[in-house]
Structure 1
């Protein structure tokens, strides 16, 4: 192993001796898709995240604005401990208004949760067991029907997701603006210290959720209202007849909200980084790949099969269309394909040594961006810097982790295009999957 590494280093040195550095850099800048697709977005993220902190007015509570909030907690295989934790963090929110909680079990499940919690004033809890499994979307739609008509703001929450005690207070503030039709909360990794895989996902959530959605909020939109934690103006949910059946019900609903926002011209989607929820992520590589197989396959189903019309600029607002082209088409679909084609091209045209040399340079630039994003998070958005400092040791591995996930994403895209595997992920019952139409 040591001899192999030494050989690679010697070959790289020889390569640098034979070719001018400037020539290598020019080839990299011209050929690598990262410099044309990804790094401009990173530059925008960096600038907007700094400006957001400087110029964004702090969220102000309004004692006169405490709308009745309905929270739908969907449960299936989660443990009773997780469900109780989620319930307790909701009913003990520092919020003056009424919070009505409907917990839906997507199967018949005998439970005595109500006997294990103390219900404070202005809190209402309903526990519902379904006779047959219908998937998360059916649970959400049932919860929407069960919520009282007074609940004007509807929050969707996973049963293994818990909230900071000021989360809902922050989440409802944007709804004072009648133009806001949906709000995405912030998601942190609860089990971030469990393994190397969870540590890397913690960094991923910071970059792809916290910082990325702050950047998108400048455009008056977000890429997705996460199914784990998001809020909606009820009248718009009912205009859309709730959630569609099938997988990726959160992204599906977000796309439908974007379509309806092009009809209601002033309507917007928002992101509130101060409203924090904590969720558990896969702790092993096999569990992570299984999760991303479904997530990435769902992207093909949503954007290629169900919403191909998004390729036409007439359906969305200009900002939403640009977001779709950049975020969903280029970064998520084109980038993994371009990476593989680029590496094969460099290998065949310039040899293995050139491929290694150029990729070392590209990875070093990715390392720099990762460090910049993490420092922005530490200095501007982090609540506990001492807790986050140990994650600096994991930063050098993040570009490799990101590269592995992109190769796996390409596999998931091909699997879903050729085999339609999203139907058989187990996320929804087979009898529903077979009835899905594009």
Structure 2
């Protein structure tokens, strides 16, 4: 038993330490953050699946109108919404019927009509029967016409400098897919270069903002450098269209973002000249849950998606466990350390507590000391990486940030562990999507509308 405790404890320490060092810029040359306009722009199709998004769709459209990238088309996919999503799109875009013909290579629910905006000719709307997010994305790929495909959630705002950063990254022909940086929309400032703010947010949003800094600026940066990136966030993903078609598009599942990333990793396995990467300078903001119930729904769905992909890709992950960084980190870090260890370590505390072992107090004190020191260091590294990439919190947020760090270490992470434990079991009984409700708040875009 002691050896098992030591194994899980060491494993839970090893990966965060590795990522904390590997994400640092000491041995990696920093590219210029803002670059002059390139001579050649790769053509980009932005796909935005929508299901009952009338509360947030105005913010999305206003953002898309401001993007100044030239070789760009935006396609909203109305996936059988039962609210006024389509009506709102028509109101803002003044839609007219388009005669564009789909590729007929990917399966999806029946398309009702494809529209083009009379006001903004590069913005389109696909109205289709409801089939879920993966199905909507497949339909969007079918109707897209450009070389690169960017997938965004309807509650996501993309910064104007993201597309040039994407263009530069994909100038490397070995890059087949990439993830962008996702910040919390509720922490967005009016000026895109003034960092993040905690003012006007509750503790739950602030803790999620820290969580995203850790997940992206530490873990994803490190995974990308190790060739082990297994999740391109559904809020902001970038793909070569031909690769999406080669892997058969998206599978109908509750975790289409993990699934498509692992599909692509499996597709390029053994091809050393191909890679999936992460672009810190491609930045978006996405709205996150503001109450505990919606947070539970979101995190439990994420964990269900993770378990679904462990099962679906078990053959690929198992056969390549010690040959592929993707398989190694997915199994040892995410599954064993991130999921199984939750049950094991919780059981140890419960059993020792009920047995009244004298060692229980020692366990508790060591564990509390560990999570405080290590949690504090990990949060500070994440905040520092955010500052390095140009997204620092403001000086007036110092005190709220300190309170948030304590809340994050002692409460928020316990909540996420509970979601992991519950979601892993709930997957086998209920695989519903559990859509998180939108706030209906309007957010301001960064730039002025393009001519």
- TM-score band by shorter chain is 0.7 to 0.9
Cα displacement (A) at 1:54:
5.2
Alignment partner of 2:170: what SS? helix
Deviation sequence 1:188-213 (CA, Å, 0-9, x none): 01124432111111111110122211
Instruction: Find 1:320's aligned residue among 323, 326, 351.
Output: 326
When residues 34 and 201 of structure 1 are mapped into structure 2, their CA distance, relative to the original with a 3 A threshold, is: farther
Between 1:285-294 and 1:191-200, the stretch displaced more is 191-200
When residues 169 and 120 of structure 1 are mapped into structure 2, their CA distance, relative to the original with a 3 A threshold, is: farther
Is residue 249 of structure 2 the alignment partner of residue 242 of structure 1?
Answer: yes
The answer for the alignment partner of 1:152 in structure 2 is 147
Cα displacement (A) at 1:67:
1.0
Deviation sequence 1:249-286 (CA, Å, 0-9, x none): 11111110010011533210010111111011111111
Alignment partner of 1:38: what SS? helix
**Which structure exhibits the higher relative contact order, with contacts defined as CA atoms closer than 8 Å and separated by 6 or more residues?**
2
Could you tell me whether the CA contact under 8 Å between 2:5 and 2:345 is conserved in 1?
Answer: no
Is residue 22 of structure 2 the alignment partner of residue 48 of structure 1?
Answer: yes
Is residue 125 of structure 2 the alignment partner of residue 127 of structure 1?
Answer: yes
Listed as ranges, the gaps of 5+ residues in structure 2 are 95-116, 188-199, 436-451
When residues 384 and 120 of structure 1 are mapped into structure 2, their CA distance, relative to the original with a 3 A threshold, is: farther
RMSD, aligned CA: 2.8
Between 1:242-251 and 1:312-321, the stretch displaced more is 312-321
Listed as ranges, the gaps of 5+ residues in structure 1 are 1-26, 428-438
Give the Cα separation in 1 of the matches to 2:140 and 2:284. Answer: 20
Is residue 372 of structure 2 the alignment partner of residue 361 of structure 1?
Answer: no
Instruction: Find 1:98's aligned residue among 65, 71, 80.
Output: 71
Deviation sequence 1:37-71 (CA, Å, 0-9, x none): 12222222222222368523336556233011001
When residues 65 and 350 of structure 1 are mapped into structure 2, their CA distance, relative to the original with a 3 A threshold, is: farther
Give the Cα separation in 1 of the matches to 2:270 and 2:375. Answer: 42
Could you tell me whether the CA contact under 8 Å between 1:33 and 1:335 is conserved in 2?
Answer: no
Instruction: Find 1:281's aligned residue among 271, 284, 288.
Output: 288
Cα displacement (A) at 1:93:
1.9
Give the Cα separation in 2 of the matches to 1:228 and 1:367. Answer: 26
Give the Cα separation in 2 of the matches to 1:206 and 1:85. Answer: 23
- Give TM-score, length-normalised by structure 2: 0.79
The answer for the alignment partner of 1:20 in structure 2 is none
Give the Cα separation in 2 of the matches to 1:255 and 1:403. Answer: 28
The answer for the alignment partner of 1:79 in structure 2 is 54
The answer for the alignment partner of 2:316 in structure 1 is 310
Larger Rg computed on CA atoms: 1
- Give TM-score, length-normalised by structure 1: 0.81
Give the Cα separation in 2 of the matches to 1:404 and 1:302. Answer: 23
Cα displacement (A) at 1:244:
1.0
Number of residues of Structure 1 aligned to a counterpart in Structure 2: 392
Give the Cα separation in 1 of the matches to 2:144 and 2:348. Answer: 52
Could you tell me whether the CA contact under 8 Å between 1:180 and 1:269 is conserved in 2?
Answer: yes
Instruction: Find 1:58's aligned residue among 29, 32, 52.
Output: 32
